[in-house]
Structure 1
Amino acid sequence: MAKLTELKSKDHQDLKLSEDAMIKHAASQHVCNLQAHEVANAATCFPVFMTRSSTAGQIVLSAMMSFTVKENLFVQDKTWQSVFQPTSFRTYPLFLMQSPENEKQCTIGFDESSSDLSNETGLPLFTSEGKASPLLSEKTQLLEAELGHMRQTYEFTEALNKLDLLKAVDLQVHYQSGEVAVIKGLITVDEDKIQSIDNQALDELRKKGYLAPMYAMLISLFQVNVLITKHNQLTSHNKIKTVKIEVSKDTTAS
């Protein structure tokens, strides 16, 4: 991510957001970060996997929206084509950042080089009195709530990891042309291991509300078929024949 600048009314009162910023951003994203509380809703629309961050090594949740990098099958004709819209799309192009004044606090930041923000045209982020516009207020509320959701997500993924309930998988995308593309680095819940854990551990997962997102992730695997259908409807060449989910031989992913 680019270096962020703290958003302040006294410095950025004239800043405006392009009306199509979210949809342009979403159109180029084949995966989208999720928080644990979003998994159940996301699973009704997309396959949901975990991946391990290449920088911090932390496990993150993601919705898959295409088999092709920089392509989103749920953006067509400049409109969002799914019932569920992830929070990370709704808050774009604003982000949480560490406060320059207090390293223990977070504030709202933005990328000054973003073409989606300007002082000339678009939807205002501040009123003429320097107060947050309704648009900015909505995004700020979502971002502030993300602090708690990020902690919950970390605790959720760590709990599953410690109980050894995760497994690394690969997606083998078989095209009608004979080409096979393999998508690696994906992690899902190991259903067999859920069945074998002791009752105390299972009850603890239930009390923490983790069973719903766990099973939602498993059910979401069937949404791979939705991606296949959408891909084949939108392309006249290189159609997909089938996608196989295989246990990965690369154990470092989990």
Structure 2
Amino acid sequence: MATLTELTSAQHKDLHIVPDAVMQQISKQHMMNVHATEIANAATCFPVFISRNSINGRLSISALTNLVAGHNLYVSNGHWDPVFRPIGLQTLPLYLMQRPEDPNQFTVGFDSSSECFATSGGEPLFTEDGKATSLLMEKSKLLESELNMVRQTHGFLQAMEKHNLLKSVDLQVKYDNERVNVIQGLYTINEDQLQTMNTEQFEELRKAGYLMPIHALLMSLYQVNVLVNRFNAHSLTEKISEVKIEVSKNLTNN
């Protein structure tokens, strides 16, 4: 993610959001961040995986919207197709960010270099007297609720690591011209480990409310077939003939 700037009425009174540019940004996202509490809903539309940031090592949860980078198969004719919209899409192009003067506090941030913003046209974020518009208030409220979701997601991912429930997988994507592309760096739930957990460990997950997102992650893998169908319906050149989900050849799953 680009460096974020704290949004203030004093410095950004004339800032407007450009809706078409926001949708254009979404249309290029082949992976979308989702939170643990969103997994069950996301699993009805997308395959959902866990991945690890190569820079800071942090885990995150993502819905896969394409098997090819740079294009979202769930955006058509400038519109978002599924009924479910992750909160991260609803708040775009605004984000949660840590306050520069106090990292323990969060505020509204934005990417000042993004084409999603302009000083005229589009939808204003502030009124002429510097007060938040209804659009900004709505997005700020969503970002406030997202903060709690971030904390819940952190707890969920910590529990997955603690109980060794993460399994590194590769997606072997085979095309009708025999070309094969391997998508790496993804994790799903280790079913074998889940089945061998003792009663105390299983009860810990149940009390924390983690059983539903765990099973939803596993069930979401069937949505890979939906991605294949969407890709083949859009592609004018090569078609996907098969996708295999295999245990990563990398011996380290953590």
TM-score computed with the length of structure 1 as normaliser: 0.97
- 8 Å CA contact 2:7, 2:110 repeated in 1: yes
8 Å CA contact 1:43, 1:219 repeated in 2 = yes
Matches within 5 A, 1:189-204: 189-204=189-204
Helix, strand or coil: the match of 2:26? Answer: helix
* Percent identity for Structure 1 against Structure 2: 48
How far 1:104 moved relative to its partner? Answer: 2.1
State the partner residue of 2:183: 183
Aligned to 1:210: 210
Q: Distance in 2 between matches of 1:25 and 1:217?
A: 26
Q: Helix, strand or coil: the match of 1:32? A: strand
Matched, 1:45 2:53: no
Aligned-partner Cα distance in 2 for 1:205–1:21? 41
After superposition, residues 85-96 of structure 1 pair within 5 angstroms as 85-96=85-96
List aligned pairs for 1:78-89, cutoff 5 A: 78-89=78-89
Q: For residue 103 of structure 2, give the secondary structure of its aligned residue in structure 1.
A: coil
Could you tell me how far 1:220 is from its partner in structure 2?
A: 0.1
- Aligned AA (2:81): Q
Q: CA deviation at 1:16?
A: 0.5
Please list every run of 5 or more consecutive structure 1 residues that lacks an aligned counterpart in the other structure.
Answer: none
Superposed displacement of residue 253, structure 1: 4.5
Q: Partners in 2 of 1:234 and 1:126 — Cα distance?
A: 40
Q: Distance in 1 between matches of 2:161 and 2:10?
A: 45
Q: CA deviation at 1:236?
A: 2.2
Q: Which residue matches 1:221?
A: 221
Q: Distance in 2 between matches of 1:98 and 1:196?
A: 40
Find the residue that maps to 1:104 and give its secondary structure. Answer: strand
Change (3 A) 1:137 1:21: farther
Determine the structure 2 residue equivalent to 1:7: 7
SS at match of 1:215: helix
Residues 93, 116 of structure 2: 8 Å contact kept? yes
TM-score, reference length from structure 2: 0.97
Q: Is the 8 A contact 2:51 2:60 kept in 1?
A: yes
1:1-254 matched pairs, under 5 angstroms: 1-254=1-254
Counterpart amino acid of residue 110 in structure 1: F
Cα RMSD over matched residues? 1.1
3-state DSSP of counterpart to 2:249: coil
Higher mean alpha-carbon deviation, 186-195 vs 210-219, is at 186-195
- The answer (yes or no) to whether the contact 2:166–2:190 under 8 Å persists in 1 is yes
User: How far 1:102 sits from its partner (Å)?
Assistant: 2.4
Q: CA contact under 8 A between 1:22 and 1:89: conserved in structure 2? A: no
**Amino acid across the alignment from 2:186:** L
The aligned length equals 254
Contact 1:186-1:253 at 8 Å conserved across structures:
no
